[in-house]
Amino acid sequence: MRIMTYVFLVTGFVLLIKGADFFVEASSSVARMLRVPSIIIGLTIVAFGTSAPELAVSTTASLAGNNDIAVGNVIGSNIFNLLVVLGACGVVHTFRVRLRWDFIASVLAGAILFFMIFRDLFLSRAEAFILLGLFVTFMVLTVRDALINRVQAEEETEIMPLPRCVVYIVGGLVAIVCGGDLVVDSASEIALAFGLSQTLVGLTVVALGTSLPELVTSIVASRKGENGLALGNVIGSNIFNILMVLAMSAAVKPITVNFFTVIDAVCLVVFSLITLILCRSRERLSRMEGLIMLGMYAAYLVYICIR
């Protein structure tokens, strides 16, 4: 195995961490500039940016006829976001949670996807346009929410200049996406060199790779005290993944799924409800609750590997 593979792996992680640092700093500055809660920025700018890998993977897979990858990538990434991203935030630092209507919207999005594919194991172009319509509705409600809550946002004296914000956001996002690609490619090569199957690598390394932007961005945001940004990133990404990423993939080419995908959709809804209960219990995620969520994801990984 080439030494450069390990160099690319380390370089990828450096790009991810520094890119997320710049991305979060600029995004929170934009929230203060617009005088809106940081969770609104997390639900829109940050969520859209960190969902870019899922959009690329699912659309490409759909065009190539790899339906299981297109749907599995979205459902797997959403489960990872809920259990690993939020769970890791709770383990690293006590994560204060203020649940809003958008979390319920993310649960409903998962439930709607389940009913669509459970009926005939098929996601049609008409159903795709329904999902896209729901996405437009979600964005309108989010913008309306931002305008209503604008006067309630706290003013800050230190705000990054707009040109620098744009550079940091674009540059940070490019670093996050490029860093994720480097990590996935190099980690896959290392795993295959150690004899792991391509299927197992796909279920673990590649699934982790497309969710690395959400993971790193949310942890960095949480450590900076931007809990709203971190939570909004997870919720927004999950909604984007179903209502936009998967919908666009099905609109380009209708998707046929298998029964295991339906089971994964059920798992997504169940995990969403469990996360909702944990978050509502004391309006925070403790280290123990974070470990429970990580444990649930480990159990899910065992299940998908042996089924």
Tokens of residue 274, six digits = 């469990």
Q: What is the pTM of this model?
A: 0.76
Concatenated DSSP letters for 145-182?
HHHHTGGGSPP-S----HHHHHHHHHHHHHHHHHHHHH
- For 24-34, what is each residue's pLDDT tens digit? 778 777 777 77
User: Buried (b) or exposed (e) across 92-104, using 16+ Cβ within 10 A?
Assistant: ebebebeebebbe
User: Buried (b) or exposed (e) across 247-268, using 16+ Cβ within 10 A?
Assistant: bbbbbebbbebeeebbebbebb
Q: What percent of the chain has a predicted confidence (pLDDT) above 70?
A: 79
How far is CA 191 from each of CA 18, 204, 209, 229, rounded to the nearest angstrom? 25, 10, 13, 33
Q: Residue 257: which H helix or E strand, with range? A: none
Dist. CA 242–CA 123, nearest whole Å: 12
How many Cβ atoms sit within 10 Å of the Cβ of residue 200? Answer: 14
Q: Are 58 and 249 in contact (CB under 8 A)?
A: yes
- For 8-60, what is each residue's pLDDT tens digit? 878 877 787 777 778 777 877 777 777 766 677 777 777 777 676 667 666 66
Q: What is the pLDDT of residue 83?
A: 92
- For 112-144, what is each residue's pLDDT tens digit? 999 999 988 889 999 999 999 999 998 888 878
Categorize the per-residue pLDDT at 200 as very low, low, confident or very high, splitting at 50, 70 and 90: low
Q: What is the pLDDT of residue 151?
A: 47
How many Cβ atoms sit within 10 Å of the Cβ of residue 123? Answer: 26
Decide if pLDDT at 199 tops 90.
no
Q: Are 280 and 70 in contact (CB under 8 A)?
A: no
